[in-house]
Every structure is written in C-alpha cells, then in structure tokens.
Chains A and B, each alone.
Chain A
C-alpha cells in the first residue's frame, strides 16, 4: 500500500515537473519535439545548461511551495555537476526529500 501511494505521488510529481519544464522551454530553439515525460533528459533532450538547472530549482520550489530542498545532493557529485538527469530522477528525488 505504501509503495502504491509513493508511486502515485511520484507520478503526480513527474506531471508537475514536466509542466514546469514545458513552461520554461516553450520558446527555446531546441530540436526535441516529444512530450516531456519521466524519461526526458534535461541536457540530452532539452539542452539544459547550468543556469537552467539553477532556474529550475527556483521554479520547482515555487511550484511545490517549499524552500531549502537539498538539490545539491541530486545535482552534484564530488563538487561537479552530474552529466545528465531525467525528469524521473528529479521526481524520485523530490518524492524522497520533500
């Protein structure tokens, strides 16, 4: 039951994060034409750069009305940015850290 509840919550988070990303990237000149979903990669598909990640952090905190989420645990390894991450990675992280 607990797992099912978590799965539902994560799906809802995926949906809300996807919506935030769609707003952010709406007027970008990028090749990606598919729907944003759990598998969408921020760098590989949406051509994210560092500033977009930082802005996404602000947008997600606004969307979920929560501050101080430890995003650095998701975004950094040994003081360097991760190579890429998916919407699903972000949703799972938020599910576990909000």
Chain B
C-alpha cells in the first residue's frame, strides 16, 4: 500500500492517470475517498492525480499533535518531494483548501494554480456563527435542535456541526436520521469515519490546531500571485472568506455555485469538476457537459469572475 513518513506521520496516498500534476487535498472529517466518485473520474484521463489522506484521517496515522494547516502543508511538501512532483495544480476543499493555500504561499514556485473550494481562512474570517448565515438547512436544523448546548453562539459552527453529526451517527450505530448528504462517506454507514473524527478531536491537539491561523496572515495571502480559482456554494457558511479573498486578490477567478452549500463538490459535482478542468486549461465539450447545467468551455471562470465582481458590494 503506497505510503510515506512525513514529519512523524504515516501518510497514505495514491496516484492515478498521466499528464500535468493535480494534487487533491480533502477537508476535515473525511479522506481521499471524497474525491473518488467525481473529481478523480473527471481528471484522470488528462492529468496525473495525486490524492492522500491528511494526518489523522483515512488510513494515515494519528500522531498526538501537528494538525495546523501549516503542519499539514509540511506533510504535503514531503509528499510532493517524495513523488517527484516539481509543480502542480492544487485543489483543496474546506480545510484542505487552507492547507493548499499554506503550501502555495510558502512554495509558490511549486504551484501552477490553486483551486480553493469552500474554505474558511481564519485570518480573513475569524469567526463563523449561525447568525452570519442564519438559514438552516435539513441536517443543520436537526443538529441544532438535538444538541445539548445552544449552538447559536458557537464561533466555529462548521467544525462544531461536523462534531455533532459524528456524535449523532455513533449514537445511532451508523444510521443517519437524515437521508441527505453524508459527510462521512458515500458508501456504507460512515460510522468508523465518524468515530475516527471524534477520536482526532478528543485525543489529539487537532481541535486547537485547526483553529490556529498558523502564520497564514493577510500579508502572506496578499503577496500570493499565482492563478487562483475560488469556488463556493451560494449557501456556504464560508462565503465571507470568498468575499474577502476576492477583494484582496482582484485577479482571482470566482464561481458561486447556486443553491448549494459547503459540500458542493459532492452535491453539485459536475459544476465543480468542469470549473476545475476549465481552470487548468482542459475544456471538456462533450455530450456530458452540454447536457448539464454546469459551466464549461475555455475562459468560463474568467468571464464568470468578471460578471460576479460586483456581488460583494
């Protein structure tokens, strides 16, 4: 099984396809399987895709510390060196996007372009409360109702809801009271993934580390000049980060995926995969793309970015 040791952690990875390098970085509480059904299938015919499990996630080991975005960017650096990846497009979802941004601002010469999908960057969005985006959706309504505490004042609500969801899943023996999207995986019950996430929160430094901006200051972000695509769900609780990054980095492409929230790479996958392919210069103009509501075609992101440049006002 392919793995390496990075800064004391055993990191499992896999590579699929041939072509320009694309490295996919998943978010919290999930693993590299997040990318398998959609992003990997869309990219593997044209790119060499590298996926890995962040430390404390999936098959990778769970050291007692080292869970800031900077620590994980160091793991990514070891992985890219180990695999001989000189430069790559980095694609990160949620906390994975923060890890990718940490890496990109430290090693810009190794990054051809950066896709940030629904990440919350603490230096530009220090808190994330229900009141910032008060509309609750299916699963969120249940979690807020069922929680023993009042979550309305919780300043890190996204991470907290993931924890509440995991506790609910473990209490119910893997069954989910909700039929919708399952952040702990699209196959099987996800009970083991939920337990793994709780173990990470309860037995390591992860809970505090994840909230640490870890040197990713606005000055560091402002100095970043490589091509970047921001792709955020319209209903996402991370959208303030999108607004801030768009204002700070005016040449950044931005896509807002209508009608969906934080997990849009899974819940609205074709929109996401076509935008990523377009960003890295591979236009897919086949029947599949034409038949969907997804963006496609060269320059879509740039056109879309200009069209939406005014929405922050």
A79–chain B nearest beta-carbon distance, Å: 6
Chain B contacts with A in 10-46, Cβ cutoff 8 A = 12, 14, 16, 31-34, 36-38, 41
Select B37's contact among A55, A57, A80, beta carbons within 8 Å. Answer: A80
A75–chain B nearest beta-carbon distance, Å: 8
- Check if A64 is an interface residue, CB within 8 A of chain B: no
A27 to B91: give the CA distance in the assembly, Å: 33
- Check if B53 is an interface residue, CB within 8 A of chain A: yes
- Residues B37 and A81 in contact, CB atoms below 8 Å apart: yes
Closest B residue to A48 using CB positions: B188
Residues of A within 8 A of B191 (CB): 47, 49
- Which stretch (B66-74, B150-158, B179-187) binds chain A? B179-187
A75 to B36: give the CA distance in the assembly, Å: 10
- Check if B235 is an interface residue, CB within 8 A of chain A: no
Select A51's contact among B2, B41, B53, beta carbons within 8 Å. Answer: B53
- Check if A5 is an interface residue, CB within 8 A of chain B: no
Given A55-B12, A72-B41, A50-B186 contact (CB < 8 Å) = yes
- Residues B187 and A49 in contact, CB atoms below 8 Å apart: yes
Closest A residue to B32 using CB positions: A54
A48 to B185: give the CA distance in the assembly, Å: 10
Give me 29 A-to-B residue pairs in the complex whose CB atoms sit less than 8 angstroms apart, sorted by A's number: A43-B187, A43-B188, A47-B189, A47-B192, A48-B187, A48-B188, A49-B188, A49-B193, A50-B36, A50-B186, A50-B190, A50-B193, A51-B32, A51-B33, A51-B58, A51-B185, A53-B36, A54-B32, A54-B33, A54-B36, A55-B1, A57-B14, A67-B16, A68-B16, A79-B37, A79-B269, A80-B37, A80-B186, A82-B187
5 pairs of A and B residues whose beta carbons are closest in the complex: A50-B185, A50-B33, A81-B187, A49-B188, A50-B187
